[in-house]
A and B are shown apart, each in its own frame.
Chain A
Amino acid sequence: MAEATAAYKVIGTRPVRPDGADKVTGRAIYGADMRLTGMLHGKMLRSPHAHARIKSIDTSKAKALPGVRAVVTAHDMPKAEDRMANLGEMAVNVKHLSNNALAYDKVLYRGHAVAAVAATNVHIAEEAVGLIEVDYEVLPAAIDVLDAMKDDAPILHEDLKATELGQQTDKVSNVVNHFQFKLGEPGTGFEEADVVIEREFDTATVHQGYIEPHNATAMWNEEGHLSVWTSTQGAFVVQRQVAEVLGISVSQVSVTPCEIGGGFGGKISVYLEPVAAVLSRQTGRPVKIVMSRIEEFEGTGPTPASHIKVKIGATNDGRIVAAEAALMYEAGAFPGSPVTAGAMCIFSPYAIPNMQVDGYDVVVNKPKTAAYRAPGATNAAFASETIIDEIAEQLGMDPLEIRRLNGAKEGDRQVHGPTYPRIGYLETVHAALEHEHYQSPLTGPNRGRGVASGFWFNVGFQSTVVINVNSDGTVSLVEGSTDIGGTRASIAMQAAETLGIPYEDVKPTVAGTDGVGYTDVTGGSRTTFATGYAAYEASQDVIRQMRERAAERWNRESEEGDSAAQLAADDVSYSDGVFRCAKDPSKTMTFKEMADMMPRTGGPITGRATSQPRGVGGAFATHVVDVEVDPDTGKVSVLRYTATQDVGTAIHPSYVEGQIQGGAVQGIGWALNEEFVYNKDGSMVNASFLDYRMPTTLDLPMIDTVLVEVPNPGHPYGVRGVGEVPIVPPPAALANAIYRATGKRMKNLPMSPTYILSQLEQE
C-alpha cells in the first residue's frame, strides 16, 4: 500500500474499489443479466451488403412464426428530422442517429440494421430474423477513404452537401467537411528549414474491443413512460438520444445504467435502445436485445481508418520551424469522424511557430465510427511522431532531446489557437530521459528502441453529486457517472479527503436519470476531474451545514449557562474530522458526533453540488519501447515498455497506473495487429476475436508506468484526466523501435507480420 502524500490523507492511497467484490463474484448486474416479468427477446436483421437501396421488406413470414410478438423496421419509428440535436457533450444529427439504428431507405454498410424481431425466446427471434425478406438493389460501395474522396466514387448520401472551409457548398460528395487550422506562415517556415521530411501514412479501422457487448432492455408502459436498462457511458445522454429518435420528451424516458464491461468511447451512441423501445411499445412487454460479437464488429462504431500526410521542417540545431498535415479520416456511414480532434492534437507536443493542418471528414460504406480513447489522436501521432523521429535521426540528435528542445509548455500556442495553461509535457520527456529503461543499453540482433509522445485534451462538462450523511457518521454518495476504471473510488476518495473522514466511510452509488441530477458521459477523461469537482463541492456543502449547526448548538448551550456568546458558522473551523470553536477551544465535536446529532440539530444533512468546471488540464505522455523483430516471420516481440505521463495529482495511483497500462496495451494492439479486414464488396472477413487479433498477456511485457505529477491548477486537488492519452504514443513508439531494429520506416498500421515482411523485402 502506498502512503498518502504529505498534503493529503486519502488522496494518493490505494484502497480497495467498492465495486470489486461484486464484479469478481458475479453479483454485479450487467445489462445481459436483466430479467423482467414477461420479457421478450429481440434480434436484429442486418444487411449483407455494404451499400444497397432497400426496395421492399416483407415481414409476413416472420410475424407468422409462433412465439413472435412483433417485427419492426425503420418505418415503425418516427421519421427523424434532419437536424442537429445538442446532447450536452456532443451534437448529433437525429436523422443519422435514427437511420443508423434502423436503415430507412438505404443500407450503408454490411451489418447495418434493417429490421428487428421480438419473440418469446432468443432462438425464435433468431429464426424469425431469417424469415424476413428484403429486396435490395445492390450499389457499388466506397470502402477506402481515398477511393471515397474521388469525384467518381459511389455517393452514400445524395442529399448531403459538402462543407468547404466553413462554407456549405452545393457539391454532393462523400467528403462532407474540409476544415483548416493555421498558425503563422508555414511556407516561410519551411524556407528556413535545413531538413524537411514529408511522408504519407495509412491506418486501419480498429475496434474498442470492450468485453461486454452492447445491450438494451426497454419497457414502454401503459402510461407512456419508457424505462431503459443498458450498458452505457452516460445514462443522461442515452435518455436524450432515445427521446430525440422517438420524438418524445426526456421526461418520458428513464435510463438506468447497468454495470459496464468496458466502453472506451464505444458506448455513448445508442444502437439498440430505440429499437427495443419500439418493440416494447408494439408488444406491451419488456424487450431485451443483446448483440453478438459479430454484431459488435459489423454493427457498432469502430475508430476510423485514415490517410495522413505530414511534412515537418527543422533547422540544423534541431528547432522545428514549420509543420503541415492533411488528415483524411473515414467517418463511416454517417458524417462525424474524430478528424477535428486528430487535427488539433497532431502537433500538440511541440511549440512550432508555423503550422497548417487540413482535415477531411469522409463518409464510407463502413459502420459509423465512434469515439475510441483519445479519438483521432492516435492515428495522427503515428504519422507526426514517426517524422519527428526521422528528423532527429537526420540531425544526429537523441529522439528525446529533440522533443525536449521543442516541447510545448505553458503559454505556447496550439495550432487551433488557444495557448496552453500549466502542462507537464517536458516533465514527461525528462522522466523518460532519466528512466533506467532509457539509460540502459539494448543489445542483440534485430532489436530496437523507440520513443514517442502524445497529447489528449480533458473536458469539463456537467456533473452532479449528492452526499447524504448517515447517523453513524458515514456518508452515501450518489453520482451520475458510469464507473469506468475505478471512478467510484476516485470520486469517493475526493469526498473523503474533503470531509476529513476515512475512505471506507464513503459509500458511492451510480444512479440513473431518476436518481441524480444531470451528468454527462464518462468520457473525455472528465470523470475524476469534473465529477470529482462536484464531490468536492458537495462535501464542502456538508461541512458548511455542519459548521452552522455546531455554532447554533454551542450558542444554545451558552444560553443555558446564561452566556451571551453568539457564534456564527465562521467561528467554527473544521479539520481532521473535528469541528472546533475558534472562540472557545474547549468546544469541539467530531464529524461522527455531528452526524449522530442530526435529528436534534435540524434533521438530515444532504450536501449537493453540480459542476461545470473550467480549468481542465490537458494530458501528455511519452513512451519508450524495446522490440525484437523476427526477420523470417515479421513478428514483433515487445521486450520492454515504459510509459511516463503527466497525471496531475494521482488520486488513486493504482487506477491511474491501470489506465496507463490499459491504454498502452490497446495502443500496442492497434499498432501491431488489430484491423478490420474487408474484402472488395465491403464485407468484414475477421469479425470475431479469433480473427481480430487483440494482444493477450502472452504477447506483452509488464507495462512500467511513471506517474509524473504536475498538478492541474484548475482543480482543487490538481486532477488531470488520465484515461485517454496513454493510447496515443504506442503505434509511433513501436514504429520507431521497429525502424531501429530493421532499418525500415513503417508507414502503415497495423505493423503486422505480413506488412513488416513486405517492407523487409523492399530494398
Chain B
Amino acid sequence: MATVFIPAMLQSLTDGATQLQVAGNTVRALINILEERFPGFKDRLLQDGDLRPDIAVAVDGEFAVDLIERVHPDSEVHFVPPISGGV
C-alpha cells in the first residue's frame, strides 16, 4: 500500500495521524479512500473535481500533473504547495 503523508493542516481530520497506508493505484483513488475514512478530506484538497490551485501532489518526489497519476504500492505521496520561480 502507498504511504500517504498527511500535511500538518489536515491532521485534524485524521486524528493526528501523520502518515497512512492506503491501497489505491492513482492519486484520485487514494483521495477517495481517505474521504471515506475521514469525511471532509476531499473538500480540503479538491475544487471542482481537480486539485485546488494552491495544492500540488508529489508522488515519489515528482509532481503529479493529473489526479490519475499512477501510484505504486511502495510509493510516497505528499500534498505540497506548487512551486514556481523567478529568473
Contacts and interface: CB of A to CB of B under 8 A. Distances in A.
Interface string A318-352: 00000000000000000000001100100000000
A686 B78 CA distance: 44
Interface residues of A, number: 51
Contact of B7 (A166, A208, A344, A525): A166
Contacts of A460: 63
Contact of B53 (A86, A416, A485, A612): A86
Contacts of B9: 165-167, 179-180
Contacts of A167: 9, 44
A167 B80 CA distance: 15
Contacts of B78: 416-418
Interface string B62-87: 11010000000000101011111111
Contact of B62 (A166, A521, A524, A615): A615
Contact of B5 (A341, A372, A417): A417
A523 B87 contact: yes
A484 B85 CA distance: 14
A523 B83 CA distance: 11
Interface in B22-68: 44, 47, 53-54, 58, 61-63, 65
A723 B7 contact: no
A56 B63 CA distance: 47
A375 B85 contact: yes
Interface in A179-198: 179-182
B83 A459 contact: yes
B52 to A, nearest CB: 8
A612 B65 contact: yes
Given A181-B8, A417-B78, A614-B62, A91 B86 contact: no
B87 A373 contact: yes
Nearest to A460: B63
Interface string A359-375: 00000000000011111
Nearest to A233: B87
A182 B16 CA distance: 12
A658 to B, nearest CB: 12
A724 B65 contact: no
A265 B85 CA distance: 7
B10 A459 contact: no
Contact of A90 (B63, B84, B87): B84
A522 interface: yes
A13 B37 CA distance: 57
A344 B84 contact: no
A138 interface: no
A235 to B, nearest CB: 17
Nearest to B60: A418
A265 B86 contact: yes
A418 B80 contact: yes
A459 B85 contact: yes
B87 A89 contact: no
A374 B44 contact: no
A84 B62 CA distance: 24
Interface string A249-268: 00000000000000111000
A720 interface: no
A558 interface: no
A724 B86 contact: yes
A485 B10 CA distance: 41
A166 B44 contact: yes
Contact of A723 (B12, B47, B65, B87): B87
A340 B7 CA distance: 14
Given A418-B78, A612-B65, A371 B85 contact: yes
Interface in A79-99: 84, 86, 89-91
A89 B84 contact: yes
Contacts of A271: none
Contacts of A615: 62
B86 to A, nearest CB: 3
A526 interface: yes
Given A373-B87, A524-B83, A524-B85, A91 B54 contact: yes
Nearest to A522: B87
Nearest to B18: A182
B84 A524 contact: yes
Contact of B63 (A165, A177, A614, A659): A614
B7 A374 contact: no
Contact of A264 (B44, B63, B84, B86): B86
B12 to A, nearest CB: 8
A457 interface: yes
A456 interface: yes
A419 interface: yes
Contact of A419 (B61, B63, B82, B83): B61
B10 A523 contact: no
Interface string A604-644: 00000000101100000000000000000000000000000
Interface of B: 5, 7-10, 12, 18, 44, 47, 53-54, 58, 61-63, 65, 76, 78, 80-87
Interface of A: 84, 86, 89-91, 165-167, 177, 179-182, 208, 263-265, 340-341, 344, 356, 371-375, 416-419, 421, 456-460, 484-485, 521-526, 612, 614-615, 659, 721, 723-724
30 contacts: A84-B47, A89-B84, A165-B9, A166-B9, A166-B44, A180-B8, A181-B8, A208-B86, A264-B87, A265-B87, A344-B80, A356-B8, A371-B85, A371-B86, A373-B86, A375-B86, A416-B7, A417-B78, A418-B76, A418-B78, A418-B80, A456-B85, A459-B83, A521-B84, A522-B87, A523-B87, A524-B84, A524-B85, A526-B85, A614-B63
Ordered nearest first, which 6 A-B pairs have the shortest CB separation? A524-B85, A265-B86, A91-B53, A166-B9, A723-B87, A417-B78
